[in-house]
Structure 1
Amino acid sequence: MPDAPQRSSLPKIVAIISKPDRPELSEVLPKLEKWLEEHGYAVLMDRESAAYFQASEVMPRSELGARSPGMALVLGGDGTLLSAARAVSKAGTLILGINLGTLGFLTELPLDELYPALEAIDRGHYVVDPRSMLSCSLIRNGEAVATLEALNDVVVSKSNISRLNHFELYVDLEFVSSYKADGLIVATPTGSTAYSLGAGGPILKPDVDAFVITPVSPHGLTHRPVVVRDTVEIEIQVKTGQEEAYLSLDGQVGMPVRDGDIVRCVKAEHPARLLRFQKTFFEVLSTKLKWGER
């Protein structure tokens, strides 16, 4: 559940994370940096943001979290916010999404409301909406070859030209089911309105302590999404044979998986801490996804 409105002393470091190729940011970002510096904040920018003007301090997006910014301003769409969450959530950074995209389900703040929102935040008038994340490890020959985090979902799927893949699902080491399908999705409550929803999964309210496991085009009428507590360990054993499969996180980063690999998912230690103001989850559903319209 989102924290109550509170006055909080933010660390005076703000990271700015931007979507590439947005011409309007050439005008927006210099003004934003000036406002922040006038209000006593040190400003860090990722390289995508620095491409729009001569910024004072620039670093790769993946390194921003190491500076422990108190807040990250994310200018772009939901994809930009997903990338930002993976970069800074371990630092406990508050994330404010400013919508420059089309949907803006997570980046719900319009650009013309940015400065009133910053004034409110500077006075401590905001709500923190913690969102569970997934920590995903790729296990090969008994060893973790990669460990990554995701805010929306972890997907194990077939490659573009392969046939149906074979997966076995385990929850807390208990066998659940064997699937022949295009893929399996493990989604957080935040991700339940993304790929999982399109594959027939349920909508989970963001404060529900659960994950949803959704098969993608399963070869069988009885395979349905499964909702599990977020305290469990989820394992997907990949039985591809000679076929190819792929592991992706938030639809943005990923790697090939081999026959015999195990994809292990648990709740990440740190949530993504989104900043919210007035709209409730169901108001956003109605506005962005046309929830309940006929």
Structure 2
Amino acid sequence: MKSIGIVANPKKPKAKKSIQKIILWAKRNKIDCFFSDELKNLISKKEKLLPLSTLSNESEIMMSLGGDGTMLKTARAVGRGGNPILGINLGSLGFITETTSKNLDNALRKLLKKEYQIEKRMVLKAKIDKKNQPSMFALNDVVIDKGGVARLIQMHLYDGEDFVCSYSADGLIISTPTGSTAYSLATGGPIINPKTNAIIVAPICPHTLASRPIIFSENHHLKIVVECDKRDALFTVDGQIDKKLISGDSVLVSKARHTVNLIKFPGSSFYSVLRKKLHWGARPSIEE
């Protein structure tokens, strides 16, 4: 390993201390460090700053210091590059991150000795079906919702050319297995092992008792047609990028060709994370 790129949430109290620890470790092991330019106030002027959009071009491995939001931001910056990403949680939940600032020394040791595996995570490709609209990519989910108005919108779901159903709801979540433990879970969506490739469609507050989440295989191409009268709806990618939709707009969603490659250490388990962070399977305790 010759170089690493560091993305961090500068608002996290533990960010500066963790970054300094990584800098010292990298210097001892003759590894070049490159930093996202938003970290300029946390590091000395002699360190190498780069725009987030080009950081992965100079970095063999990416490190993401923060929470899941920082991980999603890092994954989007890497894009098709495929650089492995190590997530270091500096926040509370950090469901996608692999380790914590408390275990940083041990993580760096394993990284140097290459005691890790690469876990490929499926990515969604989403696009508004209009001329000159760019494709966007989501590690977690794509969401279509009613925006700031407390009123239902109509959405019509197609699987290729086949009409699936119509939704009268606050919105619709189209999720990856990685995103199945995020917003989709809050709507009653299923938990799917992130090594599985599938697409989950889950309505948000549907105005019916008969509407439930549905799972499609990875090769299906979905289209959602929006009806929202004279007001705008909102199209959001990984909770970080949004675009307005008008009535009649269609959103196309399918599996992307590239994956996000996460660094995983031996003994890491999706199910242990479920138990620890979401209290999966825990029985309620009654204190007298």
Specify the SS of the correspondent of 2:108.
helix
Instruction: Work out whether 1:24 is the aligned partner of 2:24.
Output: no
CA deviations over 1:43-69 (Å, ceiling 9, x no partner) = 11112333212252212223323x152
TM-score by length of 1: 0.91
Whole-Å separation in 2 of the counterparts to 1:100 and 1:262: 38
CA deviations over 1:243-283 (Å, ceiling 9, x no partner) = 22000011111111111211111111111111111221111
Specify the SS of the correspondent of 2:257.
coil
In the TM superposition, residue 92 of structure 1 has moved relative to its aligned partner by 1.0
Alignment of 1:198-209 (within 5 A): 198-209=186-197
Confirm or deny: 8 A CA contact 2:9 2:15 kept in the other structure: no
CA deviations over 1:78-110 (Å, ceiling 9, x no partner) = 111011111114111111111111102111402
1:280 to 269, 275, 279: 269
Alignment of 1:2-17 (within 5 A): 10=1, 12-17=2-7
In the TM superposition, residue 28 of structure 1 has moved relative to its aligned partner by 2.8
Q: Which runs of 5+ in 2 are unaligned?
A: 284-288
Alignment of 1:67-216 (within 5 A): 67=57, 69-140=59-130, 143-216=131-204
Task: Give the residue type in structure 2 aligned to 1:60.
Answer: P
In the TM superposition, residue 125 of structure 1 has moved relative to its aligned partner by 1.1
In the TM superposition, residue 144 of structure 1 has moved relative to its aligned partner by 4.5
The 1:268/1:51 distance shift into structure 2, 3 A limit, reads: farther
Specify the SS of the correspondent of 2:144.
strand
1:226 to 214, 218, 223: 214
In the TM superposition, residue 237 of structure 1 has moved relative to its aligned partner by 0.8
Number of residue equivalences: 281
CA deviations over 1:103-134 (Å, ceiling 9, x no partner) = 02111402122222222122221011111111
CA deviations over 1:202-261 (Å, ceiling 9, x no partner) = 001111121100011111111111100011111111111212200001111111111121
TM-score by length of 2: 0.93
Alignment of 1:245-284 (within 5 A): 245-277=233-265, 278-284=267-273
In the TM superposition, residue 147 of structure 1 has moved relative to its aligned partner by 1.5
Q: Which runs of 5+ in 1 are unaligned?
A: 1-9
Confirm or deny: 8 A CA contact 1:162 1:244 kept in the other structure: no
Q: CA RMSD in A?
A: 1.5
Confirm or deny: 8 A CA contact 1:16 1:49 kept in the other structure: no
Instruction: Work out whether 1:42 is the aligned partner of 2:35.
Output: no
Specify the SS of the correspondent of 2:107.
helix
